[in-house]
A and B are shown apart, each in its own frame.
Chain A
Amino acid sequence: MIRAGESVLRLRRGALAAAFAGSALTAAAYWLDRPSIFQSWLFVWLFFLGIALGSMVDIMIHELTGGAWGFAVRPPAEAAMATLPVLALLGLPLALGLGDLYPWVDRGAGPRRWYLNIAAFEIRAVVYFALWIAVSSALLRYWRAGATNAESLPRRALRRLCVVGLLIYAVTASLAAVDWIMSLSANWYSTGFGLLIMVGQAMSGFAFTVAFAVFAGYLRDGSPNAARNAQDLGNLLLTLVMLWAYLAFTQFLIIWAEDLPPDIGWYILRAEPRWRALAILVLALQFVLPVIAMLFRAFKRSPRRLAGLCAVVLVAHWGELLWLVAPAARPEGLALRWTDLAATLAIGGFWLARLSAILAQPRLAPSPDIPVARHG
């Protein structure tokens, strides 16, 4: 059995306090600054949802590929995945603000009306969450079954579930990215957008998992194999940030090169000096800094330093979602609003409180009954 440490229990008290303060601010913002709070709530909610979905993807990939690195950080990843029902609840307030968020609500979506209307949008959101929660709870059930009878843990069935789960995720997450983010701007399309969002989720889920595993003491400097596990985790982080940069740049290059009015408008809106500065900052913290840090073996092999880097990547990803979601509603330029803070405190507080409650329960230690290979 692995039990969460004291730091997780302390975190839970702090998270609940933040959640209540954030909720009070959010409620006030609903009356004072209604369009703004929905923008903030949407991008912050997508940030935490991305961590939960990304953790689920990383776990499924680990179940299929194996490797000692994964078992070292599984508890926080599994807990993040188990927060999906809470994230579904935290997404409900957005239903009140669809008219404030999406241009197709008031103006209509023209010939795409059959797809982009409030009823279809809400039904799809329910279907996405039903599928994600079904996959994640099926995965959790397998591990709980293993708690009583580790030898009979059905490895083949679990692998099949992971394959099906990854396929379901690829389709639903791509559609959800179109519904929730792309449709914020009328008439803007990018075929690679779903993939870009999915890689961002896998990356932020991974960064959160590693940072939290070190914070909560699952992975610490000097513990057996810590250096080798940290090196494998560092190489995987490098892979994820490079994949993210590749997809983000490819989308930009294609749209920049074709230079067609409906597509390039999305980037022109984001080329306002302060939004552009945010884009450069995200690129620096989410790509350049990790790549340079990972050139140094000593950096990679220290769990504490790697966790610090992962925390930086997480903050940058919060900025990236702000950059993806908010410019349509803040054309005057980037300005952090108090509602951003309120939504981050509220959603982050409830989410972390739920996560630490899950981690505080006794759980099955991940027992690798497949050969544990070293990767990297």
Chain B
Amino acid sequence: MKNASNLYGVMAEFATPQALLDAVARCRSASFAKLEAFAPFSIDGLPEALGFTRNRVPLVTLIGGLLGGIGGYFMQWYSAVVDYPINAGGRPLHAWPAFIPATFELAVLGAALAAFFGFLALNGLPRLRHPVFDAPDFDLASRSRFFLCVRAYGTAFDADAAERFLRELAPVRVMRVDR
């Protein structure tokens, strides 16, 4: 019997995406607090089944876009009006129409960089080691098998009960994952 505080979770391996979806639904109705699912491809309805509805990547992208746009406009205004003013055919120094294209490009660049790095940071990536990597045959999660991990979460978590519950769902196998 392993020490519960050293336990990452109890993991079950399934052969089909439908079995994984059914298992997620059963576990949710049995009120296991925290579930993680691993699949080799995107499964329609899995995020909703896991209760995974909103994320913060769009907000980070918006902030990145705004920073890029405002910064891009400021850069052009500063260089053309303050730092190095040149009279170009009598046009105003603060030539806002000419600033718009570069402002737009930099807003897109800022949004794209924020989306890419925000996605990595919010997912805690890059990460070289993860407890579930130690589970036997877990490499199949990127090929042909579907895994569901019930996280050991809170003091009331009963690893034996979780294991019994998962075995009822007819998995290929059930295993415990250490931290």
Interface readout for B81-123 with A: 1 if CB under 8 Å, 0 if not? 0000000010100000110110000000000000000000000
Residues on the A chain within 8 Å of B58, using CB: 295
Kindly state whether residue B62 has any CB partner on chain A within 8 Å: yes
Identify which of residues 236-281 in chain A touch chain B, using a CB-to-CB cut-off of 8 Å.
249, 252-253, 256-257, 259
Residues on the A chain within 8 Å of B98, using CB: 253, 257
Residues on the A chain within 8 Å of B97, using CB: 249, 252-253, 256-257
- Chain A: interface residue total (CB-CB under 8 A): 7
Are B89 and A253 neighbours in the complex by a CB distance under 8 Å? no
Q: A259-B89, A259-B91 are in contact. Are A253 and B100 (CB under 8 A)?
A: yes
For residue B94, give the distance in angstroms from its CB to the closest CB of chain A: 13
Which residue of A has the minimal Cβ distance to B90?
A: A259
Residues on the B chain within 8 Å of A257, using CB: 97-98
Specify the main secondary structure of chain A where it touches its partner. helix
Residues on the B chain within 8 Å of A256, using CB: 97
Bound Cα distance A99, B164 (Å): 90
Are A249 and B62 neighbours in the complex by a CB distance under 8 Å? no
For residue B97, give the distance in angstroms from its CB to the closest CB of chain A: 5
For residue A278, give the distance in angstroms from its CB to the closest CB of chain B: 18
Which residue of B has the minimal Cβ distance to A258?
A: B89
For residue B118, give the distance in angstroms from its CB to the closest CB of chain A: 16
Query: Which of these, A252, A253, A259, A295, contacts B62 with CB under 8 Å?
Result: A295
Which of B58, B97, B100, B101 counts the most A-chain CB atoms under 10 A from its CB?
B97
For residue B138, give the distance in angstroms from its CB to the closest CB of chain A: 32
For residue B120, give the distance in angstroms from its CB to the closest CB of chain A: 22
Bound Cα distance A80, B59 (Å): 39
For residue A287, give the distance in angstroms from its CB to the closest CB of chain B: 12
Which residue of A has the minimal Cβ distance to B61?
A: A295
Bound Cα distance A253, B98 (Å): 7
Bound Cα distance A266, B58 (Å): 41
Bound Cα distance A159, B91 (Å): 50
Residues on the A chain within 8 Å of B100, using CB: 249, 253
Which residue of B has the minimal Cβ distance to A246?
A: B104
Residues on the A chain within 8 Å of B62, using CB: 295
Bound Cα distance A249, B97 (Å): 8
* Chain B residues with a Cβ under 8 A of chain A: 58, 62, 89, 91, 97-98, 100-101
11 residue pairs from A and B, CB less than 8 Å apart: A249-B97, A249-B100, A252-B97, A253-B97, A253-B98, A253-B101, A256-B97, A257-B97, A257-B98, A259-B89, A295-B62
Extra pairs beyond A249-B100, A253-B100, A253-B101 (11, CB < 8 Å): A249-B97, A252-B97, A253-B97, A253-B98, A256-B97, A257-B97, A257-B98, A259-B89, A259-B91, A295-B58, A295-B62
